[in-house]
Structure formats: structure tokens, C-alpha cells
Amino acid sequence: MARQTVSHEDGAIYEFTPDLEAITTIDPGTDLTIETRDSLDGAVQDESDVIESVPEEVNAATGPIAIEGATPGDVLRVEIEEIRLAEAQGRVITIDGFGLLDRHEDIDAPRTRMTPVEDGTIAFADLEVPVDPVIGTIGVAPDSESYTTLVPHDHGGNLDTTDVTAGNVIYFPVFQDGAMLAMGDCKAAMADGEMCGTGSEIATEIDATVEVIDAPAIDLERPLVETPDSWKTIASAETLQAACELANRDAIDLLRAEHGFDATDAYMASSLVGGLEISQVVDPLVTVRNAVPKAYLSDPF
């Protein structure tokens, strides 16, 4: 089967809605290359290009891609094989009214810093940071509400989670026929937290393979990511505390299904291994993971 390329020029969305229309339909197992533009649609090309306020349209997600045979109740399995940078520089920006420290008086916004790519690193002033790309926005058509690509929720969206990277697999609940996968908003590098509101925003080409899990053994409510060592639940909410509760509840459900624990024993087990991790603290809803090492969890599907 030939590799199929889907470009942001073929179609991109700024909102995940329940009634998305696909720009293409693929069979499960297709070798996909997804081309994404940077989260700011190319508006920032040097340090004099500053962004005064959060744009109405941001984080363009290439797609939607319908997956043949995906129906509500299934799980979509997205294996991320490789993420290649598609331009010679990324950009880190501050925007007034956005970011962890946006009300602090010594923090200047708007500001832009360009981060040139060279020999597997990006440069930020005298820092040489290894390229370690992250897909910031990735998701499927939601159940009933709509979410702009600035917002993370149970359908995915603007998760800004460093584990959404090459070598890992991300799983989504399927809410609509065809699932309607879309992704974009990649970073050449990003810290857990994404404190200033961006990583090094950059255009990419993503190699991925998508499969449909029919009749999954667990009822997946939110995204789940598989790394070489761990399964990590991902939850977004208005506060970090609320996101921690959701992520922990989901980890508890996985531990219960595997070990036959009641909720309390699973909760106690979750307090011993792996643990809570911060994805991002800046988007309209914030995002947290609960990692459980694979030593204690097998494939839940």
C-alpha cells in the first residue's frame, strides 16, 4: 500500500466539532504522512513579528481524516513513527494575557524569539536544545460540544503533552463515524508545562499509522498515551487539581481492570508507582497525566 500524504493545504481545522467533514478517507493501517504548518500560520518569521493577542484562529490541525470503519465506541490507535521539521527555524513567543506568568510585571509581552534549527538542535540565545518534536494539537471529532484548537478536552485537541512524540502511541475514544483525526501545532522542543504559552512552534511532517480497535475491552473516556515504559492517562480540566483527579480516576480504572482491585486498592497502588505529571498549565483548560509503568499494566484494549 503506497504512503499517503495529507497536507494542511488540503485542509485544516481551527475547531473540533461533532459534525466535521473529512478531507480524505483512509483505510486502517495506511502509511500516512501528515504535513502541518506552525501554530501561528506562518505569521511570525522574525523577531519583529509579534503577536498582540491570542489569534481567533490558532493551532491549525491538518485534516480531518476519516478512518474507514471507525464507529462510536471504538478506540482510535495512532502510532507516531517520526516527526520531521519542515522549516529551518521555530519561534517562541509571549502574548499579553496568555501564559503562566502573564500578570507578572517583569514579563514582557508580546515578544518573539526565533530558534534556528542546526544539526539536531534549536538555538535559543546561547542554549542549544536537542530537537525533540511534540505534536501540540491532536484529536478527533467530539461527542456533542465543539472545542476550538486552543482547548484540550476528552476528544484530545490542544493537549500540549510532550509524550505525544515519535515512538509513542496515542489512543482516542471514537465519538463519530470515521473518527475524524486532525493534528498540528507541533513544537521542535517544549518543556513540560509550556509555561510561556508556546514551545518552539514549527512546521513538520509526521509519519503515522492509524488503526481502529473494535470492541475495546475498556471504556476509554479520554486520551491515553503509550510510551516504551508506561501507560499514561491524559485529562484536562479548569484547574490542575481537577485534572489530577480525572487522570488519577482513569489510572485507577486501568489498575482495577488489570488486577481486580476495588477502587480504593487501585488508588493506593497508584500512590506507589509512576505518578502524576504536568502536560501544560497555560491553555483555557490545563492538562495532566497519570503514568503507570508497564510492569503493572498490560495493553488495556
By CB under 8 A, name the one of 23, 75, 80, 189 that touches its own copies: 189
Distance CA(196)–CA(214), nearest Å, equals 40
Distance CA(234)–CA(112), nearest Å, equals 30
- For residues 143 and 134, the answer to whether their CB atoms sit within 8 Å is no
- 145 Cβ neighbours under 8 A, 6+ residues apart: 18, 153
Chain-centroid distance of CA 70 in Å reads 20
Q: Which stretch binds its own copies (CB under 8 A): 53-61, 111-119, 214-222, 229-237?
A: 111-119
Cis peptide leading into residue 64 (ω within 30°): yes
Convert residues 33-72 into a mask of x (bound to its own copies by CB under 8 A) and - (unbound). Answer: ----------------------------------------
| Residue 108 DSSP code | -
Q: What angle do CA 150, 154, 158 make, to 5 degrees?
A: 20
- The C-alpha cell 489512543 sits at 171
191 binds its own copies (CB under 8 A): yes
86 binds its own copies (CB under 8 A): no
- For residues 64 and 223, the answer to whether their CB atoms sit within 8 Å is no
Q: Which stretch binds its own copies (CB under 8 A): 50-58, 80-88, 110-118, 210-218?
A: 110-118
By CB under 8 A, name the one of 94, 149, 233, 236 that touches its own copies: 94
By CB under 8 A, name the one of 148, 162, 165, 236 that touches its own copies: 162
104 binds its own copies (CB under 8 A): yes
Beta bridge partners of 134: 187
Q: Which stretch binds its own copies (CB under 8 A): 33-41, 141-149, 211-219, 241-249?
A: 241-249
In the complex, least distance from residue 293 CB atom to its own copies, rounded to whole angstroms: 9
What is the distance between the terminal CA atoms of the chain, rounded to a whole angstrom?
26
C-alpha torsion sign, points 25, 28, 30, 32: positive
159 binds its own copies (CB under 8 A): no
Cell numbers representing residue 7 in the block: 497536507
Count residues contacting its own copies (CB under 8 A)?
A: 62
Nearer to its own copies, 61 or 190 (CB): 190
Q: Which stretch binds its own copies (CB under 8 A): 28-36, 75-83, 204-212, 238-246?
A: 238-246
Convert residues 248-277 into a mask of x (bound to its own copies by CB under 8 A) and - (unbound). Answer: xx---------x-xxxxx-xxxxxxxxxxx
Nearer to its own copies, 74 or 277 (CB): 277
- 124 Cβ neighbours under 8 A, 6+ residues apart: 92, 113, 115, 200
Kindly identify the residues of this chain, within the stretch 122-141, that bind its own copies according to CB under 8 A: 122, 124-127, 129
Nearer to its own copies, 202 or 208 (CB): 202
Beta bridge partners of 87: none
Interaction site with its own copies (CB under 8 A): 92, 94, 99-101, 104, 106-109, 111, 113, 115, 122, 124-127, 129, 162, 189-200, 239-241, 244-245, 248-249, 259, 261-265, 267-278, 281, 286, 288, 290, 296
